[in-house]
């Protein structure tokens, strides 16, 4: 497992190492020893999301204090365009966003630091993601930023075809 800094403060691309043979491969998705170096707290939940259609957008979500969370996002099937948006007012990268394509072939993941909004757009049919979070979900502390908010100007690589009412409000 390797950590590569992104342009967002405290955000990292996580590169998993695959060890393969004729049966397939083995890869470590979580290593407390390595993630401790970047002060990642213990995992509280592991969640999954499945989207049937290309162009499905989920986000931009975040948890308000005291329910803020760090999140590690993996794409286990299909492909996503994963976005981290820094909304921490005291951060040197406030208002900036970073995106990375995640898919199982690359074996990469993205660490979304607490205080940042997160969203993704599916680039392939039948896409599934798994994400590890450091706090329990609190619906009363959920915040949403509209995916096309002109203040942030996030560039999505393909048209958005499927979006929930909540995410579009």
- Find the catalytic residue in 131, 137, 147, 152: 131
Mark whether 98 is an active-site residue.
Answer: no
Neighbours of 164 (CB within 10 A): 11
Q: Please state, in angstroms and rounded to a whole number, the distance separating the CA atoms of residues 98 and 121.
A: 13
Mark whether 61 is an active-site residue.
Answer: yes
- Find the catalytic residue in 30, 61, 94, 137: 61
Residue 80 and residue 106 in contact, taking contact as beta carbons nearer than 8 Å: no
CB crowding 39-65: b at 16 or more within 10 Å, else e: ebeebeeeeebebeebbbbbbbbbbee
Q: What is the DSSP string of 69-124?
A: --EEEEEEES-EEEEEEE--TTSTTTT-EEEEEE-TTTTEEEEE-TTEEEEEEE-S
Q: What positions carry a catalytic annotation? A: 61, 131
């Amino acid at each position: 497992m390797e950590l590569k800094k992104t342009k967002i403060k405290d955000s990292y691309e996580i590169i998993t190492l695959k060890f393969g043979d004729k049966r397939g491969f083995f890869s470590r998705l979580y290593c407390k020893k390595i993630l401790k170096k970047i002060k990642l707290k213990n995992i509280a939940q592991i969640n999954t999301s499945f989207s049937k259609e290309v162009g499905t957008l989920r986000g931009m979500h975040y948890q308000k204090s005291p329910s803020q969370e760090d999140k590690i996002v993996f794409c286990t099937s299909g492909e996503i365009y994963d976005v981290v948006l820094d909304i921490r007012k005291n951060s040197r990268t406030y208002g900036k966003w970073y995106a990375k394509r995640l898919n199982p072939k690359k074996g990469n993941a993205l660490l979304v630091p607490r205080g940042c909004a997160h969203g993704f757009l599916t680039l392939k049919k039948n896409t599934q993601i798994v994400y590890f979070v450091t706090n329990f979900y609190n619906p009363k502390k959920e915040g949403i930023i509209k995916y096309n908010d002109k203040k942030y100007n996030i560039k999505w690589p393909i048209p958005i075809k499927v979006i929930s009412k909540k995410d579009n409000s």
